[in-house]
Amino acid sequence: MHAVLDRMRLRQPPFRVLTVAGTNGKGSTVAMAEAILRAAGYRVGTYTSPHLIKYNERVRVNGADATDEALCAAFERIEVARGEIPLTYFEFGTLAALDQFSRSNIDAAVLEVGLGGRLDAVNAVDADAAIVTSIGIDHVQWLGDTREAIGREKAGVFRKDRPAVCADPNPPASIAEVAQTVGARFYQRDRDFFMERTDSGWTFRSSNGVRAGLPHPSLRGDYQLDNAAGVLMALEAVSGKLPVSQQQVREGLVSAMAAGRFQVLPGLPLRVLDVAHNPDAVRRLAVTLKQQPVAGRTLAVFGMLRDKDIAGAAHAMRDIVDAWYVTALDSTERGATAEEVAQALAVAGIDKPVTKFTDVRAAYAAARAVATPADRIVVFGSFYMVGDILSLPSQAL
């Protein structure tokens, strides 16, 4: 990555960089940072992954997805620059995003780490500030099977003398250890900055002062306040370079959008789409569902990748779901079969009705066919699940 960045003169981009790592909450954190910075009048580029429907979603400039033509032109420039240097799919994509941003006269880029942090392609660029959102157990084949090991990988995005924010209220010790070793300016939730819920919204506090009367982010779920607090700390830490006002913070919080994060489709029955794909994320989803009960049943349309903790994720929803519509993920070979998902439900001790399907849309259609206006359908388990549903024609949603 460094070699190709040097050849493309992108190693030190001409814009500010905010890097976001973590197990869960990255996409929401990127969305809020982007929205607040845009509300402040900055021209902002965002790089996220994976996409839900089209690859272009991964690269945005001022809220607009990159065009096919712009991405293809970037890939051609990368192909020339790399010479004999081999690049992965994700490395090509990261370079294309940086190429687009450098040609778009942006003020700031918000970059989402793809996997881990220390060795991720996004980490080839030195961030002006870095956020670690949360640490959970996921991608154990690459990152380790303990929160300490995973935290060490995520904190690899920290840099000497630059702000490093940890928004996890209960982080592994490795996060602070890496920050100290690197020499980063470390800000830890509930030590250096604080989030307090109030009757009318919430309050953010740090050594720099208080932001009171803040609105709840437009993104649903109480846990979004954890993500929002991390964003505000990072923006405060770079306020000398990217100042934002209280009103701009408020505008950004209420305008932030992130598809597939407790996304509620219009109409009845209530339909919730969530990309939660590990036990920690599903537990957060479950808490939000419990806080918003329905009069009828909750029907789950559920599928996951084979290398995920399927039983752990299902167990988190055991007390909420009345019937399960489990499915293979037909859009990827990594998906577990419906039979494998059903077996994981049995391991999780789930004794509610389970119906198996070979594709996501069939499972969703079956749930819709039996749901009454008082019921709720929850689609979760994978980005692939949510993407398959969002790409349906509007009349089939």
Whether 281 has a pLDDT exceeding 80, the answer reads: yes
Q: How confident is the model at residue 144 (pLDDT cuts 50, 70, 90)?
A: confident
**Average pLDDT for the chain:** 96
Question: What does the pLDDT average to over 183-210?
Answer: 95
Residue 118: Cβ-neighbour burial (10 angstroms; 0-12, 13-18, 19+): middle
Beta bridge partners of 302: 326, 380
Structure-token pair, residue 119: 């060795």
Residue at token pair 């961030």: 127
Contacts of 394 (CB under 8 A, 6+ apart): none
DSSP state of 217: P
pLDDT at 140 over 80: no
Query: Quick check: 162 pLDDT over 80?
Result: yes
For residue 162, the SS3 value is coil
* Residue 205 pLDDT grade (very low, low, confident, very high; cuts 50, 70, 90): very high
Query: What's the pLDDT at 136?
Result: 87
Q: What percent of the chain has pLDDT over 90?
A: 95
Mean pLDDT within 126-144: 90
- pLDDT for 141: 80
Q: How many residues does the chain have?
A: 397
**C-alpha dihedral, 206 to 208 to 210 to 214, nearest 10°:** -80
| Nearest alpha carbon to residue 29 among 139, 126, 165 | 165
Helix (H/G/I), strand (E/B), else coil: 343: helix
CATH numeric code, 263-396 = 3.90.190.20
* CA gap 238, 128 in Å, rounded: 8
Confidence of residue 332 (pLDDT cuts 50, 70, 90): confident
Inter-residue contact 43 to 105 (CB < 8 Å):
yes
Provide the sign of the torsion angle of the four alpha carbons 379, 382, 383, 384, taken in this order: negative
Residue-level pLDDT at 351: 95
- Asked whether the predicted pLDDT for residue 251 surpasses 90, the reply is yes
- Kindly give, in sequence order, each residue whose CB lies less than 8 Å from that of residue 186, ignoring residues fewer than 6 positions away: 158, 164, 166, 176, 179, 180, 192
> Which whole number is the average pLDDT over 188-205?
95
More confident residue, 142 or 327: 327
Place of tokens 């559920």: 302
User: What is the value of pTM for the model shown?
Assistant: 0.95
- Answer whether residue 265 shows pLDDT above 80: yes
Give me the amino acid identity at 163. P
Q: Which residue has the higher pLDDT, 22 or 138?
A: 22
Q: Is the pLDDT of residue 386 over 80?
A: yes
Q: Residue 52 pLDDT > 80, yes or no?
A: yes
Query: 2-255 has which fold?
Result: UDP-N-acetylmuramoyl-L-alanine:D-glutamate ligase (3.40.1190)
> What gap in Å lies between CA 10 and CA 47, rounded to an integer?
15
Has residue 207 got a pLDDT over 80?
A: yes
What is the side-by-side strand order in the sheet with 354-357? 263-265, 270-274, 376-380, 298-302, 323-327, 354-357
Q: Is 344 exposed, middle or buried (0-12, 13-18, 19+ CB in 10 A)?
A: buried
Q: For residue 126, is pLDDT > 80?
A: yes
Q: Is the pLDDT of residue 331 over 90?
A: no
Q: Which DSSP category does 305 fall into?
A: B
Q: List the structure tokens of 283.
A: 């537990």
Predicted pLDDT of residue 145: 80
Backbone angles phi, psi at 189, to 5 degrees: -55, 140
Q: Do domains 2-255 and 263-396 have the same CATH topology?
A: no
- The percentage of residues in the chain with a pLDDT greater than 70, rounded to a whole number, is 100
SS3 call for 248: helix
* Model pLDDT, residue 35: 98
Tell me what pLDDT residue 137 has: 80
- Among candidates 104, 105, 98, 88, which has minimal Cα distance to 8? 98
Domain ranges for the chain, please list them: 2-255, 263-396
pLDDT in tens, 23-39: 999 999 999 999 999 99
Alpha helices (H) along the chain: 2-7, 26-39, 68-82, 89-102, 140-143, 147-154, 173-182, 224-237, 246-255, 279-291, 310-316, 338-347, 360-370, 383-390
